[in-house]
Amino acid sequence: MVEINQFVQDKIQNLADKLNITYEELKLQFDTQYDSEFLATSELPDTMRQSAAFNIISNINVAQSNAVGISFVVVGVSNIKFNRPTRDLFVVTKGKKKVSRIVFSGLDNVNKALEFKLGYMYKDVKVKQFYNGSDYSFLKGVEIPEGQEVGVMKALKLVNIPHVTFDKVTQLPSLVSAGSTFTDVTDWRIITGVIQSVISGNVKKKDRGPQDDRRWTRVNIISADTFQDIVIGTDGKVSMQEYTCWMDESLLKLLTNSSICNFYASVEIQKGVPVLTVYYVDTLVRAPSSNHIIVQSSDDELVIGDEEEEDLS
C-alpha cells in the first residue's frame, strides 16, 4: 500500500464522494496506477508521480460515470492501426441502418476487442459515446458480459451496405468522415472476389513498442462477378486487375478452404487504385481440399510509412 499524506487522502476522499464510490476502492485504484510500470519506471518526483496517478484514476472514473449502456451484435473487427495502438470493433445496434464502431485504445486494451465473438449479441455494455453520435469508445476496466449467438449475416441484414461490382469499386469508394480527410470506416462496401493469395507477416520492429507484436495480413483477389480483360503493358508483361485487401489476422479462420467470398470492407482510393480494409468475410464457395488456399508467411517485415493521426476525441 502506497503511503500518502493527508492532502492526497483528502483529494481521494473528495473524488469518492463526488462519484459515490468508496474511498477504499479509489485508494486501491490509486495504488495500482502508482505502482504501474508506466509510472514506477519513470524518474518523476514522488509528488508528481502521485498527482499523475490521481489524475489517471480521476479520468477513468469520470469516463465511466458518463458511460452509456448499449446492446449490439458484433459483425467485424479491424487490425491494429499502424500509427498508434487502436483497434475497431464493428457492431450493429438497434434502429441504426449503418454499422457502428467501438474503439479500443492502448496496448493493454486493443486485444480486448477480440474477446467479443463475431455474431454474438451483447447487452448493456458500458461505452463512451463520441461527439459524432455514432461511434463509441470502450472503457478500460469494463467487464465483458456473456454473449448470445445470433449470427453475423442475420445482423447485417438490418443495415444498408451496398454491393459493388468489381469493375465499379473505383467509382464507389467509402465516404470521407464529416469534417475530416479520413475514410469513414463504417461506410462499408460488399465486394465479391476470388482469392488469389493470403500472406501474413510482422509489422517492422521500428514501428512497434516493446509490448507490441502487431502483424499484418494481406489478401489479393480478382473479380468473381464481372468479366475481366487481361492487360498487356508496354514492357510486354501480361496482368489482370486485382485488389489488395488488408485485414486482421484473427479473420483468417473465416478463409479456411475459401475460394470465392464476399468481403465487407471500407474502400479507399490510393494513387488511383482501390485498397480494401476488410472487417468481415462471408464465404460463398469453398475450394476442394486438394486446391485450398495456403496462408503464406512472409519473411519480409512490412515497413510502415508515416500516417496522419485520426482525431478520436
Same domain, 177 and 236: yes
Domain count, the chain: 3
Q: What's the rounded Cα separation, in Å, for the pair 160 and 163?
A: 10
* Mean pLDDT score across all residues of the chain: 82
**Do 170 and 284 have their domain in common?**
yes
- Only one residue has cell 467487464, namely 143
Q: Based on the fold, state whether residues 287 and 209 are members of the same structural domain.
A: yes
Domain boundary (123, 156, 189) is at 156
The residues, any chain, with a CB within 8 Å of residue 167's CB and separated by 6 or more, are: 223, 226, 228
Q: Within this chain, do residues 125 and 206 fall inside the same structural domain, yes or no?
A: no
What lies within 8 Å, CB to CB, of 172 at 6+ separation is: 162, 164, 189, 267
Structural domain boundaries, residue 20: 6-65
- Domain boundary pick from 15, 35, 65: 65
What CATH number does residue 265 fall under? Answer: 2.40.50
The pLDDT of residue 136: 84
CA distance 48 to 56: 12
* Cα separations in angstroms, 165 against 114, 224, 228: 30, 9, 12
Q: Are residues 139 and 177 in the same domain?
A: no
The residues, any chain, with a CB within 8 Å of residue 177's CB and separated by 6 or more, are 132, 183, 184
**Do 138 and 171 belong to one domain?**
no
- Rounded to whole angstroms, the Cα distance separating 186 from 100 reads 6
Q: What is the pLDDT of residue 239?
A: 76
Judge if 241 and 279 occupy the same domain.
yes
Distance CA 301, CA 26 (A): 43
- Average pLDDT over every residue of 290-302: 52
Query: Same structural domain for residues 52 and 99?
Result: no
Which backbone phi and psi does 14 adopt, to 5 degrees?
Answer: -65, -40
Residues 83 and 53 in one domain: no
What was the pLDDT predicted at 282? Answer: 95
Per residue in 122-133, pLDDT (tens digit) is 998 888 777 555
User: Which residues make Cβ contacts (< 8 Å) with residue 234, sequence separation at least 6?
Assistant: none
* Domain assignment of residue 213, yes or no: yes
Q: What is the mean pLDDT of residues 24-31?
A: 82
177-236 pLDDT per residue, tens: 766 678 999 999 999 999 988 888 877 655 555 445 667 899 999 999 988 888 788 888
Residue 247 has a pLDDT of 94
pLDDT above 90: residue 259: no
Check whether residue 177 and residue 241 sit in a common domain.
Answer: yes
State residue 272's pLDDT score.
Answer: 87
Cβ–Cβ < 8 Å for 139, 63: yes
pLDDT in tens, 35-94: 877 788 778 888 898 899 888 888 777 766 667 788 999 999 998 876 667 899 999 998
Q: Is 305 domain-assigned? A: no
Give the separation between CA 132 and CA 137, rounded to whole angstroms: 12
Share of the chain above pLDDT 90, in %: 35
What is the pLDDT at residue 293?
A: 54
Which residues are CB-contacts of 99 (< 8 A; sequence separation ≥ 6)?
A: 75, 76, 90, 91, 92, 159, 161, 186, 188
Residue pair 276/243 in contact (Cβ under 8 Å)? The answer is yes
Cell numbers found for residue 190: 460488399
Are 190 and 262 in a shared domain? yes
From 68-82, 149-163, 259-273, the region with the lowest mean pLDDT: 68-82
Locus of grid cell 483497434: 87
pLDDT at 291 over 60: no
Beta carbons of 222 and 239 less than 8 angstroms apart: no
pLDDT band per the 50, 70, 90 thresholds, residue 305: very low
Residue 302 has pLDDT above 90, yes or no: no
> 23-27, 155-159, 215-219, 238-242: which has the highest mean pLDDT?
155-159
- Flag whether pLDDT at 312 surpasses 60: no
DSSP H helices, 146-283, are 152-156
* The last residue of a domain, from among 115, 135, 156: 156
Predicted confidence band at 313 (pLDDT cuts at 50, 70, 90)? very low
